[in-house]
Every structure is written in C-alpha cells, then in structure tokens.
Structure 1
Amino acid sequence: MTTTATRQRGVRLTQYARGGGCACKIPPGELEEIVAGLTGRTRPADRADGTGAALLVGLDSGDDAAVVRLPGGPGAGAQAVVVTADFFGPVVDDPYDWGRIAAANALSDVYAMGGSPLVATNLLAWPRAALPLELAREVLRGGLDIAVEAGCHVAGGHSVDDPEPKYGMAVTGTADPERLLRNDAGRPGVPLSLTKPLGLGVLNNRHKVTGEVFDQAVRTMVALNRDAARAALAGRAVCATDVTGFGLLGHLYKLARASGVTAVVDASAVPFLDGAREAARDGYVSGGTHRNLAWVAPHTDFGRTDELTRLLLADAQTSGGLLVAGEVPGAPVIGELVPAREHRLVVR
C-alpha cells in the first residue's frame, strides 16, 4: 500500500536508486578478489584454559554472517554470537515497505546461520535536501515493525547525508555453536529445499521501470525466514544459505564449492512468483542478474535449459528464502547434492 506521504508528494523512491535492492551488490567474482587474503586472525591470543573467543565462521566459506564462540569453551550451554550487516537503496517506492524489506533481509543472515536475532542498529543514508525527512521516518518505522515481529531489539544506529537513499541494519544474534547452518557442511545424498519462490528481482525491476506494484513480491520479501530456519534445525540440517543478490545459482555455487560437492537442480521443481517469467520475457532483467549468470556459467552444466530459465535461476533476489541442504516441511525439494563432478552445478 502506498503511504499518504508518498501519494501527496508524488515521490517514487526507486528513481533515486541506481540499482534495485540486492541486485546492487558488487559482482561475486569481483568481491572475492577484493577480500582474498583478508581473513585476519581466527582467535585471540591463546589462553592456557582454551577458553578464548574463537572465530567459528569468517570469510573462508562465504557464509551469510560471522560467528564467534563466546569464552567458556565447548560443551553444554556453550553459545555463539552471530554478526552481520546489510543495506541497500530503495527496492520499492513505498518507504514503509522498503524499511520492512530491508530489515527482513538483514535479519535473514542470522536465520541463515541457524541463529536468533537479538539486537539491531539502523544504517541510514538520506538525501536530506532532496527527500522529505518524514519519508525517512516511514522507512525506519517499517524496519522497527519487522524487528519487533522477530523479537529483536532496535537500539539506535548511524545516519549520513548521502545523494542516494540507503537503509538496512547491523544485526547481532545468538546461536548454538554445535548446530550452525554453514555453507561448507553439505554432503552427497542430501536433498535441496527452497523456502521462498524466485522472481523477486525481475518483478522489482519491472516495478522500478513502470510503477506497477506486485503485492505478491512485497509479501514474500517482508516474510521472515525465522520459521524456515527453525524447521531446518528441527530436521537436523547443518548446511544452508539465504538466496539474495547472487541469485539461486550464485549462492548454490558458493555452497557446493565450500562443501566440495556438486549440486543438481531440477529446474521444473523450482517455484517462481506469479508474473516472474513474464517480467523476464519482457526484458526486466537487472545487470546484477546477468553478472550472476556470467559468474556461474563456467562452473555449470546447463544441459538443454533455455536462456530465460537460466536468467530466472540467476535472478538477483532481495530478501529471498533459505536454500537448505535437507528437507523443510512445506518447502519444495528442488534438487540434491551429489559427489563432486566436472561441474559444481548441474541444471536439468
């Protein structure tokens, strides 16, 4: 729903963004070059009792968040801290919905690690001379409402005057260090489940160009991945990631590579939002999606998969679902992990 402030002023927030949501990410191949070797120290100075706060998950496997085991050592009652940050420009014109989407997207990184969000701080960039501050308040209100739904505190944050509006959150959560959902824990013989349909990127891009509103896309993006993460943990899954800016194939490639396996995808089993295929057919495909496809193509056996389906499988998602190595009640199984082959990905 469009807010009163937006209607009165005729503001289309998406026109202030160069890209759209998570499609604005630095391409995965370039990003890996940037961070190569920047792994830092995996633990503080050794302690005689072995109770130092160890870094359990960092840059090495391309996971969704960093995880640090709290001092106290392994064993019953051990706890880990999950830390992440995520922000992007307006993906929809409605400021309240944009705030909700950005918050759900940031919280998703914690859920994707098997954690529970505890506290978040706002990250806001705003062109204060170009856009009314009341719209910024609506963005923050949307973020707060999603955090409240998640049971996550919001305590302050940081803001800057910037030519392009951006919003997101830095989120801290907790997890059981022995029950993390990691990128590198996939094993052959495990099914792959996807908890949200694809097509968010092409529908958001169509919205930006035409102003058409796709309620099914907004509902999908604001939905928390909390229940999906809980179901994955209840099913004893140990490997998962969320599907965002690198698309299904990009995130699955990272998971398969980190786990040393090949992922086989049944394209006919992958769910898509209503209108997604039509939007892709009509050319509403972001540059980020094309870059995603170019990145995974050398590592993928596409067989006879048509170009439109390839683009949709690489579609840059914003606040997408969880991709879980394991079965999740209510989520379709879209493929499986198998022993490593010539290609990391096989689409059939």
Structure 2
Amino acid sequence: MDQIKLTQFSHGGGCGCKIAPGVLSELLARMPAGLLPPDLLVGTATADDAAVYRLNDRQAIVATTDFFTPIVDDPRDFGRIAATNALSDVYAMGATPIFALAIVGMPLDKLPGEVIGHILEGGASICREAGIPIAGGHSIDVLEPIYGLVGIGVVDPARVRTNAGAQAGDVLILSKPLGIGVLSAGLKKGLLSAEGYAEMIRWTTTLNRVGARLAEIDDVHAMTDVTGFGLAGHLLEMCRGAGLRAVVNFDQLPVIPEARQLVCDGVATGASARNWNSYGESVEMRSGAPEWQRKLVTDPQTSGGLLIACAPASVDAVLSLIAAEQGNAGQVIGKMGEGAPQVVID
C-alpha cells in the first residue's frame, strides 16, 4: 500500500481538474432552460456555490456537490481534503451543513480495498469534525479515483449570502492564503518539502465554517469560496454578479511562503494557464507584473478560503471571527467599486 501513489492515476488533481471556466460557460449555454419556482432562491443564474431552496419563512435548504481526483498520494489526506472542499460550498452560502452523501468512484482493479477504505475514513473524519453524518451515497468502478460529497445544509433565507451581493465601497477579505495549486504541482515534481506538504494539508483540511457566523453580520454582503478558477476567476464572478469592478492590491495577498518560492521558480499547474485563457481579457494586471504573479492569481485553490465583500465598518468584526475560527489568516486584499465588471490587480 505504501508504494501506491494516488496521483499517478490522475490526469489533474483536486480542483485543478475542473473544466476551464470558458469551456464550462459554453457547455452550460447549451443547457435548456429549466423550471424556476419562486422558492428557488439561488440556482444557476449567478454561478454560485450552491443551490438554495426556501422551505418556509425561516428555513431554506442549501445543496451542493463537489468531487475530484487525487491531489495527494496519501489516501486519508485525499479523503479529508475532498470532504473539506465539498462542505465549503455550504458554508460559503452562510449555511450550516446537516448531513452529507458520499460520491465514490474507484478503479477497483488497481486500488486495494484498504486504500479505498482509508479515503472513505478521511472523508468521514472531516464530517465528524463538522458535526454531521455521512447518510448515504453512491459508488462506481471507474478509471481514475474520484471522491467527494453531496453537502446538504440549512439557513435562514434572510441570511443567505451569494456571490452577487457585493456593493460599491465594500472591502474584500480573503480567509486563507493562496498557493495550493502551486504546492500540488511542486509535490508532483518532487520539489515540495515536508514543511510545505504540512502547510498544504493544514489549509486544505481547515473547514470554512466561519461562513455561517459571517452571514449573521448584516454588513457582509457577499461570499464565495476560492477554488478551481483561482482568486481572479472567482472574484470576477463576484464582479459580474454585482455589476461592479474589483481592485486587488497584490502585495496584500496572503500567500503560503513555499508556494511563493515555487511559483517564482516557474512551478505552476496547467489549470492556471487554462484559467487565464478563459477570463484573462477581464483581468488587468499592473504594468510590468512578472508572469509568476499572474500564475498566482489564477492558481486553482483546492479547498481554498472564503472571499468576502463587506462594508468597511464590519472589517474588524469579520477578521475577528476568522481569527477565532482558524487563526490570523484573514487579510484585506482590495475593494469593490463602480465600473464595468473587471478585476484589476494593482
């Protein structure tokens, strides 16, 4: 079992194996219009993190699914990362998860049952940490290992936070440092140190449950989690949803130190380039910015942090909640303003 490397079965790992945003938009454009009942508060219109359906004046169901191929070789770590990432979409809507369903696809002729068991054990451990059961699921025999969850949560309809609610003048806050995709690329190339791997696991298995607390602050206007499309891509979705322009101060971005060094040395994922090709025309980099900065803002974040748009008066409260939940990782990175939907990296 120790000789099996899960990443050898993956053509792309973690959120880096997501379909590129430009291709995804083309595919979704072909999907026929579906039913739009009045109680469907959040559907596909704003590329949000999860669907929200109102049950009554005080309760709404939040539903999401997320799964991917291995980003690490350790099976238990893979399960933990995938589960943390899947539940993030529930928290990003301001909701509290209540149960999950497992999504399992494994090459049964290549992986021993013991390895698969460790993957499932890792996912279950994160669900226990979140205080929810895995109440069922579905499994198939496939060519690449796939694991993830369907996450089900509840929220007061008045507390739903989407990626489209930002207001001009809002401050942008990021709750986790960037660089997960770079670290995963470094791992595949054999360049990642033990300390770098520990940082990678630390952040990818840190639950974004602070999102449910943040939704209780009226001045928090929008939230999304930063995953496969990178910081620039998910912020651009926020800009398009609100009809606003975002300005980010690159020097204020929190970055995992080893990821900064690796990307400066040219290490990056293929997904970073695909992301830029999909939405780069709507992202303005500061004059003379080196290529590694572009790679960092498009770096796919597996189980990344929350991107929060809030009124200036609530910044201290937001940062305090993040610090209480996961340490002093929260960082002010920019602001929202009037203008055509665009991301400016200053």
Q: Report the TM-score, using the length of structure 1 for normalisation.
A: 0.90
**Superimposed CA distance per residue, residues 221-254 of structure 1 (whole angstroms, 9 cap, x where no aligned partner):** 0000002441353363120100000000000001
Any conservation in 2 of the 1:100–1:143 contact (CA below 8 Å)?
A: yes
Q: Match of 1:294?
A: 277
Q: Match of 2:12?
A: 19
Q: Secondary structure at the match of 2:134?
A: strand
Any conservation in 2 of the 1:180–1:238 contact (CA below 8 Å)?
A: no
Matches within 5 A, 1:1-348: 6-7=1-2, 10-36=3-29, 38-43=32-37, 54-70=39-55, 72=56, 74=57, 78-210=58-190, 212=192, 213=194, 214-234=197-217, 236-304=219-287, 305-326=289-310, 327=315, 328-329=318-319, 330=323, 331-341=330-340, 344-348=342-346
CA distance in 2, matches of 1:34, 1:321: 27
CA distance in 1, matches of 2:212, 2:267: 31
Any conservation in 1 of the 2:22–2:279 contact (CA below 8 Å)?
A: no
CA distance in 1, matches of 2:130, 2:218: 21
CA distance in 1, matches of 2:151, 2:105: 17
CA distance in 2, matches of 1:38, 1:107: 28
CA distance in 2, matches of 1:54, 1:257: 23
CA distance in 1, matches of 2:276, 2:212: 27
Structure 1 residue 340: Cα displacement: 1.3
**Superimposed CA distance per residue, residues 309-333 of structure 1 (whole angstroms, 9 cap, x where no aligned partner):** 1110110110000000023214110
Any conservation in 2 of the 1:300–1:347 contact (CA below 8 Å)?
A: yes
Any conservation in 2 of the 1:247–1:292 contact (CA below 8 Å)?
A: yes
Structure 1 residue 172: Cα displacement: 0.8
Higher mean displacement: 129-138 or 293-302? 293-302
Higher mean displacement: 246-255 or 275-284? 275-284
Structure 1 residue 38: Cα displacement: 4.1
| Partner AA of 2:24 in structure 1 | L
Q: Per the alignment, do residues 283 and 306 of structure 1 end up closer, same or farther by CA in structure 2, a change over 3 Å counting?
A: closer
Structure 1 residue 295: Cα displacement: 2.2
| Partner AA of 1:42 in structure 2 | L
Structure 1 residue 284: Cα displacement: 2.5
Q: Per the alignment, do residues 232 and 192 of structure 1 end up closer, same or farther by CA in structure 2, a change over 3 Å counting?
A: farther
Q: Secondary structure at the match of 1:241?
A: strand
User: Structure 1 runs of 4+ off > 3 angstroms?
Assistant: 231-236
Q: Secondary structure at the match of 1:156?
A: strand
Any conservation in 1 of the 2:105–2:144 contact (CA below 8 Å)?
A: yes
Question: Superposition RMSD on alpha carbons, in Å?
Answer: 1.5
Q: Per the alignment, do residues 272 and 208 of structure 1 end up closer, same or farther by CA in structure 2, a change over 3 Å counting?
A: same
**Superimposed CA distance per residue, residues 68-94 of structure 1 (whole angstroms, 9 cap, x where no aligned partner):** 001x3x3xxx21000000000111111
Q: Secondary structure at the match of 1:91?
A: coil
Q: Secondary structure at the match of 1:178?
A: helix
Q: Secondary structure at the match of 1:124?
A: strand
Any conservation in 1 of the 2:20–2:274 contact (CA below 8 Å)?
A: yes
Structure 1 residue 280: Cα displacement: 1.4
Q: Match of 1:46?
A: none
Structure 1 residue 62: Cα displacement: 0.5
Any conservation in 1 of the 2:94–2:214 contact (CA below 8 Å)?
A: no
Any conservation in 1 of the 2:247–2:336 contact (CA below 8 Å)?
A: yes
Any conservation in 2 of the 1:69–1:79 contact (CA below 8 Å)?
A: yes
Any conservation in 2 of the 1:179–1:238 contact (CA below 8 Å)?
A: no
Any conservation in 2 of the 1:195–1:228 contact (CA below 8 Å)?
A: no
May I ask how many residue pairs the two structures share in their alignment? 326
Any conservation in 2 of the 1:84–1:172 contact (CA below 8 Å)?
A: yes
Structure 1 residue 111: Cα displacement: 0.3
Q: Report the TM-score, using the length of structure 2 for normalisation.
A: 0.91
Any conservation in 1 of the 2:92–2:211 contact (CA below 8 Å)?
A: no
CA distance in 2, matches of 1:97, 1:267: 31
Structure 1 residue 296: Cα displacement: 2.5
